[in-house]
Amino acid sequence: MSVTAAKGFRAAGVWAAIKGSGKPDLALIVSDHPASAAGIFSVNRFRGTDVELDVARLKATGGRMTAIVATSGYANTLTGAAGRRDAVAIGRAAARLLKIPEREILVSSTGAIGFRLPVPRIVRGLRKAVRVLAATKEAGQAAARGIMTTDTHPKLAETTFTCGGDVLTVGGIAKGVGMISPKMATTLVFITTDARIAPGALRGALVASCADTLNAITVDGQMSTNDSVIVLANGAASRRPLSGQGCGKFRGALHEVCGSLARQLVADGEGATRMIRVTVAGARTPREAEVAARAVADSALVKTMFYGRQPNWGRIAQALGACGVRFDPGRVAVRVGGLPAIRRGLLIKSPFEIYSRLAESEVPVEIELGAGRARASILTCDLSERYVRINAGYLS
Nearest by Cα to 381 from 262, 237, 259, 226: 262
- Report whether pLDDT(367) > 60: yes
Collapsing DSSP states into helix, strand and coil, what is residue 64? Answer: strand
* Longest distance between any two alpha carbons in the chain, whole Å: 67
Task: Let me know: does 367 contact 292? Beta carbons within 8 Å.
Answer: yes
Question: Which residues have a Cβ under 8 Å from the Cβ of 131 and sit 6 or more positions away?
Answer: none
- 208-266 pLDDT tens trace: 999 999 999 998 888 888 889 999 999 999 989 998 899 999 999 999 999 999 999 99
The confidence score (pLDDT) of residue 226 equals: 87
pLDDT value for 184: 59
pLDDT of residue 220: 85
Question: Is there a contact between 217 and 118 (Cβ–Cβ < 8 Å)?
Answer: no
User: Looking at the predicted structure, is the pLDDT value of residue 304 above 90?
Assistant: yes
Give tens-digit pLDDT for 19-76: 989 999 999 999 999 999 999 999 888 999 999 999 999 999 999 999 999 999 999 9
pLDDT tens, 368-385? Answer: 999 999 999 999 999 999
Query: Exactly one of 71, 77, 149, 186 is catalytic; which is it?
Result: 186
Per-residue b/e over 375-391, b at no fewer than 16 CB within 10 Å? bbbbbbbbbbeebeeeb
275-392 maps to which CATH number? 3.10.20.340
Class of domain 2-267: alpha beta
CA distance 327 to 345: 11
Confidence band (pLDDT; 50, 70, 90) for 185?
low
d(CA 37, CA 58) in angstroms, rounded, equals 7
pLDDT digits (tens, 9 = 90+) for 194-210: 999 999 999 999 999 99
Do domains 2-267 and 275-392 share one topology? The answer is no
Per 3-state DSSP, the chain is made up of helix, strand and coil in percentages (nearest 5) of: 35, 30, 35
Stretch 109-125: mean pLDDT, rounded? Answer: 94
Question: What value, to the nearest 5°, has the Cα angle with vertex 157 and ends 156 and 159?
Answer: 155
Q: Which of 156, 173, 161, 143 is nearest to 237 (CA)?
A: 161
**What is the pLDDT at residue 116?**
93
Hey, how many other C-beta atoms are within 10 angstroms of the C-beta on 200? 12
> Taken in order 213, 215, 220, 221, is the CA torsion positive or negative?
negative
Q: Specify whether the CB–CB gap between 142 and 217 falls below 8 A.
A: no
pLDDT interval class at 395 (50, 70, 90): low
The answer to whether the Cα torsion of 61, 91, 265, 252 is positive or negative is positive
Q: How far apart are CA 113 and CA 387, in angstroms?
A: 18
Phi and psi torsions of 291, nearest 5°: -60, -45
Q: Is the pLDDT of residue 337 over 80?
A: yes
pLDDT higher than threshold 60 for residue 98: yes
- Burial letters 54-77, b for 16+ CB under 10 A, else e: bbebbeebebbbbbbbbbbbbbbb
Domain boundaries, given as residue ranges, for the chain? 2-267, 275-392
Confidence band of 291 (pLDDT split at 50, 70, 90): very high
Are 304 and 380 within 8 A, CB to CB? no
The whole-number average pLDDT for the span 120-126 is 97
The verdict on whether 71 is a catalytic residue reads no
Please state the rounded mean pLDDT for residues 282-297: 97
Quote the pLDDT of residue 140: 97
Number of C-beta neighbours around residue 24 at 10 A = 25
The pLDDT, as a whole number, for residue 177 is 85
